[in-house]
Amino acid sequence: MTTTRASHDGAALRLAAADASLIADSIRSAGLKVTAPRLAVLRALTGMPHSSADALFGAVRSDLPGTSLQAVYGVLSSFSTAGLVRKIEPAGSPALFERRVGDNHHHLVCTRCNVVHDVDCVVGHAPCLTPADALGFDVRAAEVIYWGLCASCQAETAHP
Ligand SMILES: [Zn+2]
Ligand SMILES: [Zn+2]
């Protein structure tokens, strides 16, 4: 987040500060202690939803010189236990994390470039899928992944 024009620096800094305090608030309200690694990981995840631990580590390592991939895994695991982030695990992909939680939304995943997009519930409220026979389960969530080719991969494969 850099700006080349001095006149914009003040605004950018204020924005970044507001952003940081919102992020600290959400960590606190999930019942977790606010730490520098947690702040950095959650902030990175805000800008890049559906990221793997590896990608997030790449995003925060310059801000947190002492951090490790293992530490990022630890942060993500505390976040998902606290309900602050959602973990999705598309087959053949590392676990991906996102801040959009609690709405039971689904995902479109491209089988060619692995791009991931959110899609809202198919119908009605969560859980949006009703099994023909729930076998007595109290169903709390349904996870759907739509696999296919994204629009740009379709375009690229149509005109090689
Ligand atoms: Zn694609
Ligand atoms: Zn999502």
Domains present along the chain, CATH in parentheses = 6-88 (1.10.10.10), 102-158 (3.30.1490.190)
Ligand number, closest to the Cα atom of 45: 2
pLDDT attached to residue 56 = 97
pLDDT band at 160 (very low <50, low <70, confident <90, very high): low
**pLDDT higher at 124 or 14:** 14
**Contact present, 71 and 113 (Cβ < 8 Å):** no
The arithmetic mean of pLDDT across residues 83-102, rounded, is 92
> What distance in angstroms lies between residue 143's CA and the mean position of ligand 1's atoms?
21
How many contiguous H segments (helices) and E segments (strands) does the chain have?
Answer: 5, 6
pLDDT attached to residue 39 = 95
> What distance in angstroms lies between residue 70's CA and the mean position of ligand 2's atoms?
23
> What distance in angstroms lies between residue 61's CA and the mean position of ligand 2's atoms?
24
DSSP of 4-37, one letter per residue? S-HHHHHHHHHHHHHHHHHHHHHHHHTT----HH
> What distance in angstroms lies between residue 159's CA and the mean position of ligand 1's atoms?
14
> What distance in angstroms lies between residue 24's CA and the mean position of ligand 1's atoms?
34
86 pLDDT above the threshold of 50 = yes
Alpha-carbon span 80 to 61, nearest angstrom: 21
The arithmetic mean of pLDDT across residues 107-130, rounded, is 81
pLDDT per position as a tens digit, 17-55: 768 889 999 999 999 999 999 999 999 999 999 999 999
Ligand number, closest to the Cα atom of 101: 2
The arithmetic mean of pLDDT across residues 95-122, rounded, is 90
Alpha-carbon span 75 to 136, nearest angstrom: 35
Report the range of poorest mean pLDDT among 14-23, 64-73, 98-107, 149-158: 14-23
pLDDT attached to residue 76 = 98
Ligand number, closest to the Cα atom of 99: 2
Ligand number, closest to the Cα atom of 153: 1
